[in-house]
Amino acid sequence: MGKHNFGYFVHEGFSNMFSHGFMSFAAIGITVACLLIMGTFTLVAVNANRQLEDLERENEMLAFVEEDFSETQVLQKKLEAIPNVTSVTFISRQQAMERFVEQYPDEELFRDLDPNILRDRFSIKIGDLERISQTKAAVDAVDGIAYASAAEEIAGGFITIRNVATVVCVALIAILFIVSVFIISNTIRLTTFDRREEIAIMRMVGATNGFIRWPFVYEGFLMGFLGASIAFLLEWGLYEAVARGVSTSDALQLIDVIPFRELWVPVAGSFAGAGIFIGVGGSLSAIRKYLQV
Amino acid sequence: MLESESALIELKDVEMEYDNGTKAIRGISLRINPGEFVFLVGPSGSGKSTIIKLLTGEVEPNAGRVRVNGFSTRNISERQIPLMRRTLGVIFQDFRLIEKKTVYDNLAFVMRAVGASAKESRKRIPYVLDLVGLEKKAYSYPDELSGGEQQRVAIARALVNNPATIIADEPTGNLDPERSLELMDLLVKINELGTTMVVVTHEKDLVDHFGKRVVTIDSGRVVNDSVGGYVGGRIHG
């Protein structure tokens, strides 16, 4: 690209966008709609994922200490050194009994139990639930641990939910993305069809493909960026409104919506990236057939 | 591939068949020297348009060689096709002006397309518009002009990048006889300034009037090549 052509290309990109007002409006509108649908779906998925992560964090493994083993601090260090273990808390048999009683306040029978019938134990929290079996085996293998107990089935349930949610989310976003590129490419193709004579004349007088292509690339870039900006603002407003609705709803109080200030950077970045990709990709694909010879 | 700097068109044993099996050119050899004025005549479907497409690099010959202003289209790379086209100015029967641009912008646009600066355009365009007699119409839009004026804008556009050769495809097809004669006078004047001129037409009276070299094409072959007007055969659209 020649130096003095840069300004010309940008100017052409801008003026083409305005001179084909309706088609540009249509392309930007479709970009906004597609990004908004994709963005909303992704944000719902991100929030659902966060909820699942929180629930996962609650899931703990118990490692029971052998009866005659007293060096619990050494044991704690060994347990903490096991990969995938994120935290280890010692619970004495006395504390275990107190919790037991707290958990079942209506059961009179538990009140007079001797704590010595219970074992000292460690509450172990793990990072990756998918590796719960290996982690449990490693805990079992530690000298001084009688056995470990983990709710592997519950963990498996969480993993399945997350995997299904991820696959559905990725598939939907991919489909929406392809549909967006297709629609925008067709919209831009209509604007290029409108200007095929212009392109034919440029080719006939010896304009290079690059010279013909660049104004369309800038136009696609501008439309994509504009679409992404509008979609971002709308997404922001929508998200805040939904977050307010959830926080004031009695039925949905358990749901903890991630504040938008934590999400705006990746949302803005993804919207800008996707918008520009869709705009530029759509332009390039639309103009390709006019640059064959 | 750049073979020579001289302005020259040469077709040597050229054969051309379209994908649908139509054999448009059947062994044509033709040489046009720098500065010549040549009428290319023949009935519809004779192969005139295919010759223009071969010269502008829109199609490639199946056999033989086409050389245009130093470029051989047989082994020309895709990157060189625009460079070859810059040595040509093409005029179409239907003018093909951009309706949304003024006369000046229609010309500036093609100058910009080959890398000219705005300053160069400001210098060159008034000169070319003066040459075709449209200096006062620079800021008119095509639909504000008559057919003859629009075709003169098309001529100015073909001229503005100072090509070695101008190829005019039925340039008078949409004009009345008087305007046709004026336009052809203009093309002759441009030719006298040194530009090689290839004019495709089926207007016998115009061809006879100017007494230039006439190449007659029929069924994809050169059936006559003589100077001084159309000799024998048939010319009809």
> Does ipTM exceed 0.85?
no
A140-155 burial, b if ≥16 CB within 10 A, otherwise e? eebebbeebebeeeeb
Report d(CA B151, CA B135) in Å as an integer.
14
Which two three-digit tokens encode residue B225? 């090549």
- Ramachandran angles phi, psi of B46, nearest 5°: -80, -20
Closest CA to B208 of B187, B231, B224: B231
- Ramachandran angles phi, psi of A105, nearest 5°: -65, -20
Residue of chain B minimizing CA distance to A20: B100
Interchain CB distance below 8 Å, A207 and B82: yes
Contacts of A154 (CB under 8 A, 6+ apart): A59
Residues of chain A with pLDDT > 70, as a percent, come to 92
B147-185 pLDDT per residue, tens: 889 999 999 999 999 999 999 998 988 788 888 898 899
**What is the model's pLDDT at position A171?**
87
Interchain CB distance below 8 Å, A206 and B96: no
Which residues of chain A are within 8 Å of residue B82 when distances are taken between CB atoms? Answer: 203, 206-209
Most confidently predicted of A105-119, A275-289, B205-219, B223-237 = B205-219
Per the CB < 8 A criterion, the answer to whether B80 and B1 are in contact is yes
B52 touches chain A (CB under 8 A): no
A68 CB burial (10 A radius; 0-12, 13-18, 19+): exposed
A127 CB burial (10 A radius; 0-12, 13-18, 19+): middle
B233 touches chain A (CB under 8 A): no
Interchain CB distance below 8 Å, B114 and A200: no
Interchain CB distance below 8 Å, B110 and A293: no
Per the CB < 8 A criterion, the answer to whether B212 and B32 are in contact is no
pLDDT at B7 over 50: no
The pLDDT confidence band at residue A23, using thresholds 50, 70 and 90, is: confident
The pLDDT confidence band at residue A178, using thresholds 50, 70 and 90, is: confident
- Which member of B110, B115, B157 has the closest CB to residue A2? B115
Interchain CB distance below 8 Å, B117 and A8: no
Per the CB < 8 A criterion, the answer to whether B96 and A195 are in contact is no
pTM score over 0.80: no
Which residues of chain A are within 8 Å of residue B79 when distances are taken between CB atoms? Answer: 208
B27-85 pLDDT per residue, tens: 999 999 999 999 999 988 899 989 999 999 888 899 999 999 889 877 788 888 899 99
Closest CA to A49 of A207, A131, A163, A179: A163
Which residues of chain A are within 8 Å of residue B100 when distances are taken between CB atoms? Answer: 19
Question: SS3 of B86, please?
Answer: coil
**What is the model's pLDDT at position B235?**
44
B72-83 pLDDT per residue, tens: 877 788 888 899
Nearest CA distance, A14 vs chain B (angstrom): 16
Which residues of chain A are within 8 Å of residue B86 when distances are taken between CB atoms? Answer: 205-206
Question: SS3 of A198, please?
Answer: helix
Which residues of chain A are within 8 Å of residue B117 when distances are taken between CB atoms? Answer: 4
A·B CB contacts under 8 A? 52
The pLDDT confidence band at residue B13, using thresholds 50, 70 and 90, is: very high
The pLDDT confidence band at residue B96, using thresholds 50, 70 and 90, is: confident
Nearest CA distance, A8 vs chain B (angstrom): 9
Which position has the token pair 């006062």? B136
Which residues of chain B are within 8 Å of residue A198 when distances are taken between CB atoms? Answer: 98
Report d(CA B105, CA B128) in Å as an integer.
13
Nearest CA distance, B52 vs chain A (angstrom): 12
Report d(CA B111, CA B117) in Å as an integer.
8
Q: For A25-34, A174-183, B41-50, B74-83, which range has the lowest pLDDT when averaged over its residues?
A: A174-183
A5 touches chain B (CB under 8 A): yes
